[in-house]
């Protein structure tokens, strides 16, 4: 088995840390537990992570070309990352940095939303 467990673990840890920040500020949790919604999201993400065909070469899920997430889950995880990403810097500098660096490496065209659609 060539799958790097360390890498997986770090991904999971990063995700959990992000979810906690997000959940605390959006869903008002107090302790260490995530709310049921966020817990479900985490389980889903964990599953995807374990099945990721890239294994060690894996980049950030947000920029992966496979999009193995269901659209709904993808939206939710993207929200969490967008919100918690910057906030990770103060709480988990190391995790956040490695995440940011990966984002840079996997630079891709950012989907620009034209704000000219509806009024
Ligand atoms: Zn929550």
C-alpha separations of 65 from 42, 52, 78 in Å: 21, 12, 15
Which pair of tokens denotes residue 37? 């919604």
Which pair of tokens denotes residue 9? 């673990």
Q: How far is the CA of 85 from the centre of ligand 1 (A)?
A: 16
Q: What is the pLDDT of residues 105-118, one digit of tens each?
A: 655 444 444 444 44
Q: What is the pLDDT of residues 48-68, one digit of tens each?
A: 888 877 776 777 766 677 778
- Whether pTM > 0.85 for this model: the answer is no
Q: How far is the CA of 101 from the centre of ligand 1 (A)?
A: 27
Residues with CB under 5 A from ligand 1 (ion): 23, 27, 35, 38
């Amino acid at each position: 088995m060539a799958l790097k467990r360390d890498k997986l673990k770090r991904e999971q840890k990063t995700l959990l840390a992000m979810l906690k920040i997000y959940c605390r500020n959006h869903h008002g949790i107090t302790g260490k537990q995530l709310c049921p919604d966020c817990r479900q999201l985490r389980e889903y993400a964990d599953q995807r992570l374990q099945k990721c065909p890239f294994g060690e070469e894996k980049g950030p899920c947000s920029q992966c070309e496979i999009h193995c997430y269901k659209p709904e889950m993808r939206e939710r995880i993207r929200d969490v990352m967008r919100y918690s990403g910057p906030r990770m810097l103060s709480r988990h500098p190391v995790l956040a940095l490695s995440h940011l660096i990966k984002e840079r490496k996997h630079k891709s065209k950012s989907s620009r939303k034209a704000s000219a659609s509806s009024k």
